[in-house]
Amino acid sequence: MNKILISVVGPTAIGKTKLAIRLAQHYNTEIISADSRQFFKEMNIGTAVPSIDELNQAKHHFIQHKSITEQYTVGDYEREAIEKLAHLFKIHDVVIMVGGSGLYVNAVTDGLNTFPTVDPNIREELNTELSKKGIRVLQSKLKQLDPLYYEKVDIHNPQRVIRALEVAVGSGQPYSSFINKPKAKRDFKVLSVGIKADRPLIYDRINSRVDIMIDTGLLDEAKSVMPFKDYNALQTVGYKELFKYLDGEWTLDFAISEIKKNTRRFAKRQLTWFLRNEITKWVDYDYNAETLLPEIDNELLNLKNG
C-alpha cells in the first residue's frame, strides 16, 4: 500500500494532459489514460489525443491502442488497466492516471458495480424503439424509471440510455440502485487531483478547441470514419454532429455550433461527476507548478503515512 496512483481529473479542455506530464516528469514515472475517446486509433483530432511532442515527454499507455471496429468495454479497460498498473508499480512508487471519463476513472480506483443479468431481448426491443421513434422517447422512459440516473447520465448517448433502461426494465429496480456499491480492494492508494476554472472560462476554452479541431481537419477525419458511424465508439460529440452535416441534415455552421454546445454540456456533466469525490484536491487551471509540486509531494507523504 505504499504505491500511489495520482488521478488527474477535470472537465474537457482544462489542461489535464499538461499537468499529468508535469507530474510524470517530476516523479520519473508513466501515465495511463482514462479517456475512453482516446482509446481508438482512427479518432485523433476529435478526441484531442496528446501530440507527438507530449507523448515523447512522458510514456503513455491506453492511447489509440484499439480500433473503432473492436468491441471494448469499461470492464475490458478495468482489467487491462489494473494489469498494467501491477506491472508499473513494480518499477515505480507513483503512477499517473489522467482522463475525463468518470466511469473509467472509477473503474480503476474503485472497481465496477455489479449489475443483474437481464433478458437480451429487452435491449433488442429498446434498440428497435430507438431506430423507430428516436432517443427522446427513451430519454422520457429513463426519466420516469430512474430520475436520479437521468440527471447524471449523458442522455444524448443512446448506448448509455439503453443500458440503464435494460437494467431498470429487466430487474424492476432503477439502474442507479446498483451504483455506489462497496469499493473494490486495490493494493495501491489514490490521490485525486482535479483542475478547476470558472465556467465561462471553461466554455471559452471549449469553443476555441473546437475551432482549432475544425481548422486542423476534423471534418476530413469524420469523413474517413463515416462508414462506421453506427459503431459505439463514434457515438460521441464531435463526430455525430458532423455525420449529420455529411448526411445533408445540417449545415456545417450549425453542426459546429452543436459540437460546441454539446461539448459544453459534456463538461458540465464531468464537473458534476468529479465534484462528488469530496477528497479530491482541486487546483486552479493557471496553477504555479513550482508551488503545486511541493504541495503534491506533501499530499503523497500524508497518504503514505495515513
The C-alpha cell at 222 is 469524420
CA-closest candidate to residue 236, choices 127, 156, 130, 135? 156
Cβ neighbours of residue 159 under 8 Å, at least 6 residues apart? 232, 235
Burial class from Cβ neighbours inside 10 Å (0-12, 13-18, 19+) for residue 119 reads: exposed
Annotated binding-site residue? 6: no
The C-alpha cell at 93 is 512508487
Angle of helix 102-109 relative to helix 252-274, nearest 10 degrees, comes to 30
Instruction: Count Cβ neighbours within 10 Å for each residue of 31-42 and write b for 16 or more, e otherwise.
Output: bbbbbbbbbbeb
On whether the CB atoms of residues 8 and 277 are closer than 8 A, the answer is: no
Annotated binding-site residue? 200: no
On whether the CB atoms of residues 194 and 7 are closer than 8 A, the answer is: no
Annotated binding-site residue? 12: yes
Annotated binding-site residue? 100: no
Cβ neighbours of residue 14 under 8 Å, at least 6 residues apart? 195, 196, 197, 202, 205, 285
Annotated binding-site residue? 134: no
Annotated binding-site residue? 107: no
Residue 130 and residue 78: Cα distance in Å, rounded? 29
Annotated binding residues for ATP, written as ranges, equal 10-17
Binding site residue list for substrate = 12-17
- Detail the residues annotated as belonging to a binding site: 10-17
